[in-house]
Amino acid sequence: MGENVPSVLLSSGWKMPIVALGTATQPLPHQVLTSTFIDAIEVGYRHFDTAALYKTEEPLGHAVAEALRRGLIGTRDNLFITSKLWCTDAHPDLVVPALKNTLRKLGLEYVDLYLVHVPARLKKGEMVYPFNKEDLLPFDMRGTWEAMEECSRLGLAKSIGVSNFDCEKLSQLLGHATIPPAVNQVKLNAACQQRKLIDFCKEKGIHVSAWSPLGANGTRWGSTAVMDSPILKEIALAKGKTVALRWIYEQGASVVVKSFNKGRMKENLQIFGWELSGEELNKISQIPQQRGFPDFLQESYILFMVLEPHSSNESLKVQMATESFAPSSLPIIQTTSSSQPLPNNLIAINSNTLPLKLTSSNYSSWQAQLDALLLGYGLVGFVDGTYPCSSPSIEENGKKSPKPKYLFWIRQDKLLFLAILGSITDTIAPMVSRSKTS
């Protein structure tokens, strides 16, 4: 039955089965996992998606060996194995050793696809999730990707790619990559359609793979928006098919599904040989959209610490995701909230312009003067643009004031200015998602 699942030709020249079985799960005995993966091979799955963080590489390796022993597959080449580099190993000197450790656990000589799990780096150490934001380090994209390319050259990974990268980060990566990413695995479903990202990846020859295709209900990052959608329910009832998965396939993307129930495994493979009508596709396009970045990334502050080249002889280190941000000599406008004084580096820029604390009573003055300050930077070509975002109002003494939010970009993809008024998780993350992925 695995032969009935079509494959996509990646830019690396290798073919990848469209449907993968995801292996991220709550802790289960290895024997249970191995048995489940063997069931999946029997059902027809030929693509398995794992990661160092999932701690499922070893039982998956045992399943591959057992499938070979039973004759369920002819050779190891009949399977496509994807794994991922976790943030604690996203250091140039640790990437190759991390993949070798993955291969040791899998009992394989190579993986078919190796992905950078998240565009972030953590201090070296034990893989734990959730992690402390204090462990976040600036992400060395160039150095990490060069090490990924070395994995490819050594034959440890047939294809390399990324996961959870938006258009901006992909642009940065493509600017220096010798081997472009073959795949970008992202949150993609009918309630998070990622239209801009899909179009960008198609233009650049990067295949999009969807995690959370059914919404990942029951997980801390999931929602019921897909499974409870009246539109999807109506179409699924009429067709008797898994419409949500078929929709992703018709966008040109592959899917990572997860069910350890053998009957559901079979059902999730039944997305070929039929189509959605134009009217049905139009209805699905009208489903209310959620933000593109997963909540658990936003809550972990992954999006808000970057290290990017600023000129030929210096680096710009932008660190903003924490209210304990250290003062810097660089002109950075840091995240601020109504309950916190403005950071020293902002005061240093314009100490006589802005009040030290934002309240409902001085908000209008604060906004007007900040706008004027940014306009000045724009006139001298220092700021490319601002992205407004509505958010909950500040309330003080029964008074409310609407709070626009700003994201500032300098010189194309170099993030320099970030000024936010409000809660970091309620404000920054939705704004970054909309400005980058909508």
Least confident window among 205-219, 308-322, 360-374: 308-322
Instruction: Provide the phi-psi class of 398: left if phi over 0, else alpha when psi is between -120 and 50, else beta.
Output: left
Q: Which pLDDT belongs to residue 168? A: 83
Q: Where are the alpha helices (DSSP H) in 210-294?
A: 230-239, 243-250, 262-268, 278-285
Token pair for 437: 């992925």
Q: Which pLDDT belongs to residue 3? A: 60
* Whether residue 372 sits in one domain with residue 256: no
Q: Which pLDDT belongs to residue 56? A: 97
Distance CA(167)–CA(438), nearest Å, equals: 10
Buried b / exposed e over 9-43, threshold 16 CB at 10 Å, is ebbbeeebbbbbbbbbeeeeeeeebbbbbbbbbeb
CATH of the domain at 228: 3.20.20.100
Residue 341 burial (CB count, 10 A)? 14
The pLDDT of 14-34, averaged and rounded, is: 94
Among 251, 286, 321, residue at a domain's last position: 286
Does the pLDDT at position 219 exceed 80?
no
Asked whether residue 318 is assigned to any structural domain, the reply reads: no
* Whether residue 260 sits in one domain with residue 397: no
Work out whether strand 183-187 and strand 157-163 pair parallel, antiparallel, or are unpaired. parallel
* Whether residue 370 sits in one domain with residue 253: no
Asked whether residue 327 is assigned to any structural domain, the reply reads: no
The pLDDT of 411-427, averaged and rounded, is: 34
The pLDDT of 143-151, averaged and rounded, is: 97
Distance CA(240)–CA(376), nearest Å, equals: 59
Least confident window among 80-94, 123-137, 188-202: 123-137
Among 286, 313, 341, residue at a domain's last position: 286
| pTM for the predicted model, two decimal places | 0.69
Count the domains in the chain. Answer: 2
Distance CA(17)–CA(4), nearest Å, equals: 10
| Domain extent at residue 263 | 7-286
* Whether residue 192 sits in one domain with residue 113: yes
* Whether residue 234 sits in one domain with residue 142: yes
Residue 427 has what DSSP assignment? I
The pLDDT of 425-437, averaged and rounded, is: 31
Length of the chain: 438
Q: Which comes out higher in pLDDT, residue 246 or 436?
A: 246
Active site residue 387: no
* Whether residue 401 sits in one domain with residue 270: no
Asked whether residue 299 is assigned to any structural domain, the reply reads: no
Does the pLDDT at position 388 exceed 80?
no
Asked whether residue 334 is assigned to any structural domain, the reply reads: no
* Whether residue 46 sits in one domain with residue 133: yes
Q: Which comes out higher in pLDDT, residue 410 or 94?
A: 94
- pLDDT per position as a tens digit, 305-344: 222 222 222 222 232 222 222 223 323 333 333 233 333 3
CA-based torsion, 407, 411, 415, 418: positive or negative: negative
Q: Which comes out higher in pLDDT, residue 339 or 139?
A: 139
Q: Which comes out higher in pLDDT, residue 12 or 416?
A: 12
Least confident window among 56-70, 191-205, 251-265, 304-318: 304-318
Q: Which pLDDT belongs to residue 300? A: 31
- Separation in Å, CA 293 to CA 118, 217, 388, 432: 11, 16, 18, 9
The pLDDT of 385-389, averaged and rounded, is: 37
Does the pLDDT at position 1 exceed 80?
no
Q: Which pLDDT belongs to residue 380? A: 43
Reference 99, options 45, 140, 154; nearest CA is 154
Among 286, 315, 343, residue at a domain's last position: 286
Instruction: Provide the phi-psi class of 323: left if phi over 0, else alpha when psi is between -120 and 50, else beta.
Output: alpha
- pLDDT per position as a tens digit, 60-117: 999 999 999 999 999 999 999 999 999 999 999 999 999 999 999 999 999 999 999 9
Asked whether residue 250 is assigned to any structural domain, the reply reads: yes
Q: Which pLDDT belongs to residue 336? A: 31
Reference 317, options 169, 160, 191, 140; nearest CA is 140
Asked whether residue 222 is assigned to any structural domain, the reply reads: yes
* Whether residue 262 sits in one domain with residue 171: yes
Q: Which of 45, 54, 114, 406 is catalytic?
A: 54
Torsion angle of C-alpha atoms 106, 218, 196, 199, degrees rounded to 10: 40
Tell me the pLDDT band of 155, cut-offs 50, 70 and 90.
very high
Least confident window among 66-70, 192-196, 251-255, 330-334: 330-334
Beta bridge partners of 255: 19, 210
The pLDDT of 27-31, averaged and rounded, is: 91
Q: Which pLDDT belongs to residue 369? A: 52
Q: Which comes out higher in pLDDT, residue 73 or 412?
A: 73
**Mean pLDDT, the chain, whole residue set:** 73
The pLDDT of 133-140, averaged and rounded, is: 79
- Separation in Å, CA 190 to CA 36, 250, 265: 28, 11, 20
* Whether residue 395 sits in one domain with residue 278: no
Asked whether residue 102 is assigned to any structural domain, the reply reads: yes
Tell me the pLDDT band of 371, cut-offs 50, 70 and 90.
low
Q: How far apart are the first and last CA of the chain?
A: 37
* Whether residue 357 sits in one domain with residue 228: no
Instruction: Provide the phi-psi class of 276: left if phi over 0, else alpha when psi is between -120 and 50, else beta.
Output: beta
Q: Which pLDDT belongs to residue 354? A: 40
Tally of CA atoms within 13 A in the half-sphere of 373 that contains its CB: 21
Torsion angle of C-alpha atoms 25, 126, 169, 424, degrees rounded to 10: 80
Q: Which pLDDT belongs to residue 307? A: 23
> Which of 23-37, 88-102, 212-226 is most confident?
88-102
Beta bridge partners of 17: 7
Does the pLDDT at position 293 exceed 80?
no
* Whether residue 61 sits in one domain with residue 159: yes
Q: Which comes out higher in pLDDT, residue 429 or 239?
A: 239
Tell me the pLDDT band of 397, cut-offs 50, 70 and 90.
very low
* Whether residue 58 sits in one domain with residue 131: yes
Asked whether residue 346 is assigned to any structural domain, the reply reads: no
